């Protein structure tokens, strides 16, 4: 069976994923093709076309289109909860009751149009909606490979109405335990504070997480934003998760917090520096998210975790690696699987996998996320020949050896190889690399290449031969979805990838899934004694990760990078010296 999963139903992070007989063969985010971060307001035209072309699938061979947005019954508590909690905006409240599925109908029209545009045929193919949070749950559970009874949770801003789901899975079936509904959203509160701290919602939450270790979580008490017990929570909509006239407005823009929040905490943060009191606010909201989430996990999933210790997590909040470290530390959690593309982009996989399981297929365990386009040496050379900057380039025989030499000499290196990663993390195929023992290499990459805030941390990619020693655990970590406490013996060896609080968001690299990247790091180990490389995404601030060789060349000439490896093609801005 051929199932095409499509996301973009909530008007950001559009993507496509293709399952053939339960095997995930291709997935890509629309932003990478259209070069607009998060592809806001877009549907996955280019990414869907890529998936079909890559797999050699004719449009007429698609059996089902699955998408992560479903109609919600009037008899569900979701619409009534929304109406009751948003009483201060009567137009929204009445719409939820009397026209509560308008967004579903709009999405169905758009996805039908997309099916026709791709020549799949909206009247021929089955269009299968999946509840947004069930799609998130499926993207983690059905691809985790867990066979035991499994605890499942999803937390994000919101889908149709749900914001949080606790569930369990067994024999491929997902069983709901508890849902929470808008405006009671942990992701929404974190997003509102993200805006208050001067970042963009849906993009800057990880910046708040990175800022938090610089502050003191006990200096300011933000608990008035959320009232909670071990089994319930309620967001204070006097301050956050607000709509309509309650929103704070500045220079024509409306925010998801109220003027009352500004009266309480002070003016909204501006600029790129981290300073008081904002670093303490970041620390406090991070601590509050962790505290509430852990309490709910223990209440709703504690019994299941005691049985098997398996936990799956997805939704935008699942990209909060500090929370994930706390989850791994729970005494009953033996293994945590976080969907690498936990944002709404991952719901394309989730919708497809959910429909596949409901149809009786077996969905294969996620082996890796190298699911996007790849380019040959010939295509890379052609891109160089056609680029207006006329780069210096040469075909090299041992890219891993030369790359390691450049890194060991202290040079940042753009590393472009293989299939593009799916999800927000560069995992060695669309990366900027540095040697983590070279002093100030992180500051240089932040200031001269990424053009981002100087305090932002970088992540290590490390070989599986040294990971347990560095991270002090054998917990699987192939996708940069967790932070770990770095062994003291390693902190001085790789200081450029150790964050302010002594942790690192690590990727453990194994030879089977990425032999070329593995070889590069092994060559670097021969020169430095450390099987670790600094790794960040190949893009500049505010841009999507690069997709094609031309994208990489544009980024290369728009920064102070000096070396770019496109497969086996070394690109420089001046001739190489021997």
d(CA 467, CA 508): 6
The answer to whether 104 and 129 have CB atoms below 8 angstroms apart is yes
Q: Which of 463, 468, 473 is nearest to 335 (CA)?
A: 473
Give the pair of three-digit tokens for residue 483.
Answer: 């932070």
The answer to whether 422 and 522 have CB atoms below 8 angstroms apart is no
Residues 509-536 as b or e (16 or more Cβ within 10 Å = b): beeeebebbbbbbbbbbeebebbbbbbb
Non-local (6+) Cβ contacts of 171 within 8 A are none
The pairing of strands 2-7 and 64-67 is: parallel
The answer to whether 437 and 42 have CB atoms below 8 angstroms apart is no
DSSP E strands in 247-361: the ranges are 249-250, 253-254, 310-314, 335-338
Catalytic site positions: 12
The answer to whether 221 and 230 have CB atoms below 8 angstroms apart is no
Residue 101 — φ and ψ, nearest 5°? -110, 25
Which H or E run includes 166? strand 162-170
Give the pair of three-digit tokens for residue 95.
Answer: 């719409």
Which H or E run includes 508? strand 507-509
What are the residues facing 109 on neighbouring strands? none
d(CA 113, CA 23): 26
């Amino acid at each position: 069976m051929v199932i095409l999963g499509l996301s973009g139903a909530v008007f950001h992070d559009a993507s496509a994923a293709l399952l053939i007989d339960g095997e995930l063969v291709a997935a890509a985010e629309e932003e990478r093709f259209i070069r607009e971060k998060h592809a806001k307001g877009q549907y996955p035209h280019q990414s869907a076309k890529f998936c079909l072309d890559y797999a050699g699938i004719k449009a007429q061979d698609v059996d089902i289109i699955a998408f992560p947005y479903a109609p919600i019954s009037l008899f569900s508590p979701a619409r009534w909860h929304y109406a009751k909690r948003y009483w201060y905006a009567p137009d929204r409240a009445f719409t939820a009751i009397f026209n509560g599925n308008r967004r579903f109908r709009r999405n169905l029209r758009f996805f039908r149009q997309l099916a026709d545009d791709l020549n799949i045929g909206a009247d021929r193919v089955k269009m299968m909606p999946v509840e947004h949070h069930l799609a998130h749950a499926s993207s983690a559970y059905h691809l985790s490979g867990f066979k035991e009874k499994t605890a499942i949770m999803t937390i994000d801003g919101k889908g149709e109405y749900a914001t949080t789901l606790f569930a369990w899975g067994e024999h491929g079936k997902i069983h709901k335990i508890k849902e929470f509904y808008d405006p009671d959203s942990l992701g929404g509160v974190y997003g509102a504070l993200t805006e208050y701290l001067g970042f963009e919602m849906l993009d800057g939450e990880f910046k708040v997480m990175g800022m938090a270790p610089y502050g003191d979580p006990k200096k300011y008490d933000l608990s008035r934003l959320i009232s909670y017990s071990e089994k319930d929570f309620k967001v204070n909509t006097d301050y956050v998760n607000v709509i309509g006239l309650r929103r704070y407005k500045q220079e024509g823009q409306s925010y998801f917090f109220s003027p009352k929040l500004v009266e309480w905490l002070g003016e909204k943060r501006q600029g790129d520096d981290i300073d008081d009191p904002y670093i303490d606010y970041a620390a406090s909201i991070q601590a509050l998210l962790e505290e509430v989430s852990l309490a709910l996990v223990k209440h709703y999933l504690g019994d299941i975790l005691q049985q098997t210790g398996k936990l799956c997590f997805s939704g935008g909040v699942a990209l909060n690696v500090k929370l994930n470290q706390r989850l791994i530390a729970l005494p009953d959690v033996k293994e945590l699987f976080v969907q690498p593309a936990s944002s709404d982009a991952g719901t394309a996989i989730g919708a497809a996998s959910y429909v596949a399981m409901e149809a009786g297929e077996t969905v294969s365990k996620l082996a890796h996320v190298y699911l996007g386009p790849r380019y040959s040496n010939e295509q890379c050379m052609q891109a160089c020949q056609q680029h207006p900057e006329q780069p210096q380039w040469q075909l090299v025989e041992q890219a891993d050896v030369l790359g390691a030499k450049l890194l060991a000499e202290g040079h940042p290196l753009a590393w472009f190889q293989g299939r593009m990663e799916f999800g927000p993390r560069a995992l060695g195929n669309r990366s900027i690399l540095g040697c983590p023992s070279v002093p100030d290499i992180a500051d240089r990459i932040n200031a001269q290449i990424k053009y981002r805030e100087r305090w932002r941390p970088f992540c290590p990619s490390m070989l599986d031969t040294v990971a347990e020693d560095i991270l002090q655990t054998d917990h699987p970590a192939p996708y940069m979805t967790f932070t770990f406490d770095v062994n003291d013996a390693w902190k001085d060896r790789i200081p450029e990838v150790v964050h302010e609080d002594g942790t690192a968001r690590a990727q453990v690299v194994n030879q089977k899934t990425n032999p070329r990247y593995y070889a590069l790091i092994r060559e670097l180990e021969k020169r430095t004694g450390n099987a670790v490389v600094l790794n960040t995404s190949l893009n500049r601030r505010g841009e999507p990760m690069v997709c094609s060789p031309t994208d990489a060349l544009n980024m290369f000439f728009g920064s102070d990078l000096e070396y770019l490896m496109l497969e086996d093609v070394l690109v420089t801005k001046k001739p190489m010296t021997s």
